[in-house]
Amino acid sequence: MSAILGHRRTKTVSVTSGKGGVGKTTIVSNLAFALARQGKRVLILDGDLGMANVDIMFGVKAEANIHQVIKGEVEIAQAITPLGTNIDLIAGGSGIVELNRLNSFERRAMMESLQSMDGLYDYMLIDTAPGISDNVLYLNSAAQETAIVINPDPASLTDSYALIKVLNQEYKESHFSIICNQVRDETDGMALYHRFNEVVSRFLFVGLDYWGPLTQDPLFRKSAQNQRLILKHEPTSESSRQLLNISMKLERSLVRKNEKSGLQFFWDQVVGVA
Ligand SMILES: Nc1ncnc2c1ncn2[C@@H]1O[C@H](COP(=O)(O)OP(=O)(O)OP(=O)(O)O)[C@@H](O)[C@H]1O
Ligand SMILES: [Mg+2]
């Protein structure tokens, strides 16, 4: 079933974190590029509705954003910013603080607009804000797959634990994927995953997959400063290899999923919890 639906429907993945600044936007932008390069059509939703910056990663300026769609000022099709071959963006709208506190009517408007895009893309990747605000929770609960970015900072672990706990207890989410960023090496990444997994599974009944490490690499800061994606401009680097590995894990995990399918699901789910 999933193969047939998967053909027509948009698979939704949120990339999120308990703590800010752990690499979500960097990872989403590079994963989108990896998928698009294979011919997949990718839509990025900048779900960090208050502090959007995916467009900056691609060196593009978004003319319209989801805020205007929610207000009914523009149609969703007009709020799409092309970022490159096979990659489009729905920008979040920088600095619009109230967007991080949408009411249920506004959420509904946003989700209805997104649902109308179902099937136009193979993937929708959602770059969320950090933390456990309502918007973050419902975007994560609505996505088919939620990848949580952690790093060795203890605050990242405790905040991610809190995020998983609330998604599990309030939204019945029981499966997450973990990306260990800014680790020393692959061994360190695996150790961090095991440590986190051990604590989480001691207290919560959830499953955590490991999508892999991303080592601490000065190329990331350089590439952000120059608005050049690492995967595009440093394709032979260790970090690019690790990013491709993560994108393969993402594809594989969605092939396995058929119970939550497409933006229609995304929409139904959100109406259910709004
Ligand atoms: N593996 C890495 N090695 C070195 N620097 C990294 C790595 N991953 C991310 N960074 C840097 O960390 C900073 C934060 O990254 P990014 O903006 O992607 O995080 P974020 O989780 O989206 O933050 P926010 O929560 O504020 O949205 C950026 O300067 C980025 O270049
Ligand atoms: Mg970000």
Site to substitute for ligand 1 among 14, 25, 27, most atoms within 8 A of C-beta? 25
CA dihedral 21, 172, 161, 264 (to 10 degrees): -10
Mean pLDDT of the chain: 87
At residue 159, the pLDDT reads 97
Distances 244 to 62, 203, 235, 247 between C-alpha atoms, Å? 26, 32, 10, 5
Q: Which atom in ligand 1 lies closest to the alpha carbon of residue 149? A: 21
How does pLDDT run across 18-46, given as a tens digit for each residue? 999 999 999 999 999 999 999 999 999 98
Model confidence at 105, pLDDT cuts 50, 70, 90, reads confident
Q: What is the mean pLDDT of residues 217-245?
A: 93
Q: Report CA(215)–ligand 2 centroid distance (Å).
A: 18
At residue 265, the pLDDT reads 58
How does pLDDT run across 114-128, given as a tens digit for each residue? 888 888 999 999 999
Residues 42 and 84 sit within 8 Å (Cβ to Cβ): no
Distance CA 117, CA 2 (A): 19
The count of other CB atoms within 10 Å of the CB of residue 202 is 7
Model confidence at 111, pLDDT cuts 50, 70, 90, reads confident
All structural domains of the chain: 2-273 (3.40.50.300)
Q: Which two tokens stand for residue 191?
A: 């150790």
Asked if residue 168 has pLDDT above 50, the reply is yes
Asked if residue 274 has pLDDT above 50, the reply is no
Q: Show the CA angle centred on residue 59, arms to residues 53 and 64, nearest 5°.
A: 60
At residue 95, the pLDDT reads 55
Q: Report CA(27)–ligand 1 centroid distance (Å).
A: 8
How does pLDDT run across 77-93, given as a tens digit for each residue? 999 999 999 999 999 87
Site to substitute for ligand 1 among 16, 17, 22, most atoms within 8 A of C-beta? 22
- Cut 0.85: pTM above it: yes
